[in-house]
Amino acid sequence: MSPGGFGTPQQSQERKSRSRTQSIIPCTIAQILNTTQEEDNKFFSGETEISQVTIVGLVRSVKESSTRIDYEIDDMSGPLLEVKQFVDNDENVPDEERVQAMRENTYVRAYGHVRAFQGKHSVVAFKLMPLTDMNELSCHLLEVVHAHMVLSQQGASGGASTSAFPTPGGAMNMDTSGGLTGTQQQVHTLIKNNFTEEGANIVSICQQLKGVSEKAIRDAIEFLSSEGHIYSTIDEDHFKATDS
């Protein structure tokens, strides 16, 4: 596998012939930096569109402000990658509700969207978490190789699947339920199928799942959020799915 991407770029006569995956793709930093940016702010590695990614690396620097935390992350595959996390750490926000920055010289896993400004690639993160077990680093590298193999096979067959890639948590997921309980799966489906800008709100979810208690729904949302399946938008009662 070359460090530049998931395959050798080829000229395509029609954009629709390129494969597209909605899954979170495990990548190295070199693969992200070597994606090609095309119209509509889309990024391609070979013939595959890359949107949401997960990386594992060492935090080399941290810069904090009230609205953003900027990281430089290194996975030894290429130059440092800038990872931006937008936060609401205004002075009026209680300390316990503020997003805590990752520490320098610690390994982290980041989930986010590939972006570029003036030709410089970066990732806008919707979730970062510290590594608690260094085996996760080895697992991530295996996931990168597996994703490369699957995407290469799908590119050859002209299709793309969303079921063979990691869910936010690191474990490989080979089925559509992702190991979720029935309630968690129902809540995730409702949030995923909400296409409004602000996302699904808890009140609406409770109204649609009348046979499920509000506590069970909030517990499911807390679990889905902690595992990276969903993220809050305009407030703590509105959510969107990370793979929608």
In this prediction, residue 159 carries a pLDDT of 54
Q: What are phi and psi of 168, to 5 degrees?
A: -60, 100
Long-range contacts of 206-209 (CB under 8 A, 24+ apart): 209/183
Highest mean pLDDT among 6-10, 146-150, 153-157, 164-168 belongs to: 146-150
Q: In what order do the strands lie in the sheet with 200-201?
A: 200-201, 238-241, 230-232
Token pair for 178: 């992702």
Q: What digits encode the pLDDT tens for the residues 174-231?
A: 333 456 788 888 899 899 888 888 899 999 999 888 778 999 999 999 999 888 889 8
> Which residue pairs, CB below 8 angstroms and at least 24 apart, start in 161-166?
161/21, 162/21, 162/22, 162/23, 162/243, 164/23, 165/21, 165/23, 165/24, 165/25, 165/26, 166/24, 166/26, 166/54
Domain positions in the chain are: 15-157, 182-241
pTM of the complete model: 0.60
- Is the separation of the CB atoms in 87 and 231 below 8 Å? no
Burial class (CB in 10 A: 0-12, 13-18, 19+), 184: buried
Q: Cβ(29)–Cβ(75) under 8 Å?
A: yes
Q: Is 182-241 assigned to CATH 1.10.443.10?
A: no
Each residue of 122-136: pLDDT tens digit?
A: 999 999 999 988 888
86: nearest Cα among 59, 64, 61:
64
Beta strands 107-117 and 52-64 are antiparallel
CATH fold of 15-157 reads OB fold (Dihydrolipoamide Acetyltransferase, E2P) (2.40.50)
Q: Report the distance separating Cα 192 and Cα 244, nearest Å.
A: 6
Q: Give the DSSP letter string of 15-58.
A: GGGSEE--SPEE--HHHHHTPEEEGGGEEEETTEE--EEEEEEE
- 92-114 pLDDT per residue, tens: 878 788 888 999 999 999 999 99
Please answer whether residues 28 and 50 qualify as being in contact, where contact means their C-beta atoms are separated by less than 8 angstroms: no
pLDDT at 161 (0 to 100): 44
Taking all residues of the chain, what is their mean pLDDT, rounded to a whole number? 81
Q: For residue 238, what is the enclosing H or E element?
A: strand 238-241
Average pLDDT for 113-125: 92
